[in-house]
Amino acid sequence: MNIVLKNATIIEKNNPFNNQKVDIEITDGVLSKIGTNLAIKEGYTTIEKENLHVSTGWVDTQVVFGEPGFETTETIKNGLHVAAKSGFTDVFVHSNTNPSIDNQAVIHLIQNKGLGQATQLHLVGTLTKNAEGNELAELFDMKNAGAIAFGDYKKSLTNANLLKIALQYTQDFNGLVFAFPMNKDIKGKGFVNEGVVSTKLGMKGIPALAELVELARNIAILNYTGGKMHVPTISCAESVALIREAKSKGLSITCGVSINNLVLNENEITDFNTDTKVYPPLRSEQDRLALIEGVKDGSIDVITSDHCPVNIENKRIEYDLSAYGSIGLESIFGALNQVVPLEISIEKLTNGHQFLNEKPEIAIGQKAKLTLFNPDTHWIFESKNIMSLSKNAIMLGKKMKGEVYGIINTNSIQI
C-alpha cells in the first residue's frame, strides 16, 4: 500500500505537526515522509479530501456484534466494515453471543472471522462462565488465546468475593477486569432513570443509587486487592466524583462513558421511542453535564459508542418489554464533536490504545494506523446513514458535526 495524503491537518497531542496541514507519504503501510508539497512518486496513489484531518486510529472499548448466535442482529464481517467506515481501527468486542466468549475455542472462532479486515478485533472474554456470575471463567487460558480483558457484558457481579478473587488472580498475568456498576437489587424492575420524567410517564425508574452503591463497592474491593479495573460506562454525576477520588488515591482504575449518556438526557424517552431504551439509562441533564466535565478533566478516560444492535422484533414492542441497546458506531463522532472540543474528542477516541499496550504515533517509521475525517461538516443523522444490519439508532434525527472518511490500518485502506 503506497499512498500520499495531501493537505491533511494532523490532530495529535504533543506531535510537532499538531494542527498543521501537511502531506503524509505511506510506503508499504509505514509512514515514510511527512512534509509540505511532497512529490508524488510513481506507483503511489493520492488521496485528497475536503478539509482532510488525520489522527491516530480510534478505539471503541465496548461493542457487540451478535455473531456467533445472533447473526440476524449483526455479523462480525459487516460489524467490522461499519467500524472502519466510522473511523475505528480497533474495537473491543464483548460477549453478547451464544455461546458466550468464555473459553479459547470461542475466542479462536471469532478471531478467525475477523481476519483480513481493516479494523482489528479485540475480544473481551467473560469474567464468569457463561456470564452467569457463579464461577470464574478460564481467564488465563483466554488471555493466552488473545483476550485483552475480562468482564460480563452489562452485568455486575452480585458475589463481591468473586470480584475480589478475580482482581487478585488476574494480577499474575497483568489482566484487566471490566466491572459494570449496577446493583440489580436496587435496580429492581426499573428500566429508565428514576426522576420526575419517569414519574410523569408512569415508568419504573432505576435510581442513580443502583450505580453508586455498586461502583463504591467495586472501588473498595480494588483498593483492597490491587489489580487493574476498567469501569466500562458510568451515567451519574456522583459516579464521576467517585472515579475522580479513586484516581486521586492512586488506584489503577480507568473509566468510560457511552456517547448516549454524554449527548442525551432523560427527556428523550417522553415519546416512548424504544430506541431510547439504553443501559445504563439516559439520566438527568445535571448528570449529563457532570459527565462532560469528567471527560474534560480526565476523570473519564474513554468514550464508547456502546454499539448494541437489536433486531426489530425485540425493539418495536412495548417500551418496558423492549430490549436495551442502540447502535452507535456510525454516529459517535458527529455526536461527540457537538459537545466537546475536537482535541478532546480525538484524545478520548484514541485513549483505548493503552489497553492494548501500544502507543501508535503519526511519525516517520511508524505503521500507518490512521483515522481520516472532516470535523466541520454539519448534517442530520438519517436512516440512509445506517450501515449496520440492525436499525435501532438512538441518534436518528439528531444534528451531527463532522464526518468520517475512513481508516488506514493493517496495510490496507477503508474509505
Distance CA 159, CA 136 (A): 11
CB 384 within 8 A of CB 399: no
Cβ-proximal residues to 327 (8 Å cutoff; 6+ apart), any chain: 305, 307, 308, 309, 386, 388, 390, 391, 392, 393
CB 178 within 8 A of CB 233: no
Cβ-proximal residues to 250 (8 Å cutoff; 6+ apart), any chain: none
Nearest Cα to Cα of residue 242 among 207, 275, 208, 272: 208
Identify the three-state secondary structure at position 375: strand
For the chain, the maximum distance between any two Cα atoms, rounded to a whole number of angstroms, is: 68
Identify the three-state secondary structure at position 91: strand
Residues assigned a catalytic role: 306
DSSP 8-state symbol, 270: G
DSSP 8-state symbol, 119: S
Place of cell 480510534: 58
Write the CA distances from 121 to 244, 341, 373, integer angstroms.
Answer: 30, 28, 21
Burial code of 46-76, b = ≥16 C-beta within 10 A, e = fewer? Answer: ebebeebbbbbbbbbbbbbbbbbebeebbbb
